A and B are shown apart, each in its own frame.
Chain A
């Protein structure tokens, strides 16, 4: 592959379990150096897709190329170029953070410095602590450290910040930005839409195994979805109107009624709002997702 070929290329990907299509005809590319966010409700097929790309699952149909290789036939030299942070881990962890990282560093031809990596995930004070004695968020940081220890060209992050406190998440975002600056290509899945907005260049939204939208983070959902929304209460009824000129609309409301409108608000749709609307219009009620994302 040349430098300009996509790092990840997926065409008409299908994964069936009996009659159930977990992934139903997905296509997308990820360019070198890009951070691509894969978003969608639980069970939409995000993890299935990512695990097919990582070589953990076989696909039913379609073409997949990761770093120029079909993941079904990815050898050790291919794996040496990947970094994988799985969605869940539960190892017994009878080694210390430093022992684990030092050991894993030995697997790779050009590993990152162990102490630097420990510092990058903010675990300096836990370096000599057994992994099993760490909190959930700290263990997650070990997962991230193990994902980047081999200096991967392509990094898979499957819900990497679950269990992080807000400060740890900010720290993690800085880490990802540094990796990006080094030229790492990143495939991210997350339930935190602000995280996707902060880190992603482009996003794809999967609902029910299908890609319902794909595009630059600022353009997902189309221009209409981003038109500001004005909400207010009139005669006890909640009213809302989309307009490119929200301030003008509010001024008109004031002029018309001569008083302050009730409960007035101007909302510029965030990625989260756009996402929720897309998921709803695809026929899935994302209540659980709202709860998770808030």
Chain B
């Protein structure tokens, strides 16, 4: 993650003899928190209100940031009332910028999204992970593209459109985007501007308050040559499920965790230290975090595998499928697995 020359590493090692048992960065980060050499951090440098309940937050990353590919998400750790929460958000800015931008829509009752949208002052330092995810455009580009998005699902597609716009190579593309109302449409003005600049881009904005929810039939009606297009979709699970059932070859990015089962879940899990009681329907990740453990995590919905830990004893149960699984040595995703009876999992 950190690209430092061998001589830099030797210097760091030498200086750490003077700072033992701490690291040089423990002193350097007092000057600038972004100078950490062991964890990637960023500083909020700008906020822009997109709609009544969505903002774009621009973050200046530390030196280790490797950039992103349009469509990817980034793990962000922010402190809410003293407690660090880690969430993944799709990057909405174009590729190749020094700063990164995420666009977040407030989720009712969501601790982190509420903080991000309402109360994240400029200058706040956040923890970052490198960008991840494979919801990206192929190279070379498909001849014809269709993007189907709803709500905040526009964000990864916005990154793609902005990137294509900067490159000046907009292919034949249609965007069908649905939001609740015109006022609630993120990027409405910019999308109109893009469509005006690029004749090959058609933007269709729909509003559920007027025309109801988006479904495959409605898209087919709007885009008659849909079958000839490579389709990228991002939005609520119900929309993605419907599109996936209706069409072949859909590329989809899910924002919300799939439905969970609570049946036959829960148990006592040994993560090292005091045994942990995992409640029915609770994920291992949630239980560990509630007990104050530092758990690796990423998307929190079973996608990114940033949270995997080795299972040593026992089995776990997948909260999405209700299936019990796991052999000793398996790497299990703690975000979508719960306990099913006693188990031991190794936390590094």
Partners in one complex: no
